[in-house]
Structure 1
Amino acid sequence: MEAFLVSTGLVALGEMGDKTQLLAMLLAARFKRPALIVLGILVATLANHALAGALGAMVAQALGPQLLRWIIGLGFLAMAVWMLVPDKADDEGVEGSARRMGVFATTVIAFFLAEMGDKTQIATVALAARFEGALVAVVAGTTLGMLIANVPAVYLGHRFASRIPMRWVHGVSALIFALLGLATLLWA
């Protein structure tokens, strides 16, 4: 229980004001599908933190910090370009499974990439090492901490979405991903 509670508290506090909160608000403003975005955050965080807890140190060592940095940085730049591509579903008002899958997949990819090399992922590796044998409790705790920090941001973004022009949301999203990509590539 200690591993779960410590992991939850550390990550919830550590994520306050983090880039993922801004990302959550931007995704909610762009797609206006808060439930799918929250589900995407949950899936991405579970996948990312499970990998971090179980394999994080091994993967970083096998790839080396330079290659890992390039993969993450280029991934952010790709997301920046993707954010600038107009979404036909937004323009046409199309409702359906293709759009829902797009919102979910975009959220999963964006959050998974945003957490790569982030302090939360590093904390998950450290917590899993500290609480050896409690991997499930650590991953559950860090995931809950992420949700505590980001779910309110999703609903705030969704609430104010009608007041924000979509072109601005696309542009700001692209800018943030581009800055994250450049920061990752330029600063070790």
Structure 2
Amino acid sequence: IRNNKSGASLFNRPSAGIFKRRSQTCWKQWYNVDPIYRDGDQKLLSTLWSHHLVGRPENLLTGVGFLFGGYHRSHGQFIDGSAAFEVHRPEHWIFEGTKLNRGDHFGGADTIVGYECDGCELMMKDGLPVPTHRDGTPSSFTVLGTCPARWAPGDSVWYDEFPKDRVGNAVMGVYTQGGTVFTAGTTDWAHGLRGNDPVVTRITKNIIDRLSK
């Protein structure tokens, strides 16, 4: 930053010796040309955390990941979809004050589910979706809402064991493991806040109120 009149610098550039010039290469979907792929520890590959060679799925942190998520109303997937979450456990404190019932949908008017969505491997138990926990999702994770999502055909290059026809979900949920983690499972949750969706606004308030106590 410089003074417009004097040209004096408020912050001087550090000498070249302080910071060494370094670069990082992320091979992403071309993980099999990463030098580590053949000559090093494959757990250090610069690709998906959830890749079976890396074995550190983001589910361990957020409860969900892209491996069992995908796209909704984007990349040619579920273009006519509702862009809304289906409610599964309306009695949960997350939904307090929303007046939602099981099977209701919310957020579609503002397309809160779209573009990239994260999910987890699910199975049905007593008519409700629950995690299988085989993908790293914590044992205390509770599924609150889902919306179908799917990888685009070209995304299979990221993961050599991915079945191209599998349908996943954007999964909204919560778990406690030392602290409480809420995950919306969608990049577009903020669309509902911008659109003043009463349910999205109330859920967000419930989370802030609960976690700020």
TM-score, structure 1 as length reference? 0.26
Whichever of the two has the greater Rg, that structure is 2
More helix by share: 1
Larger RCO of the pair (alpha carbons < 8 Å, separation 6+): 1
TM-score, structure 2 as length reference? 0.24
More strand by share: 2
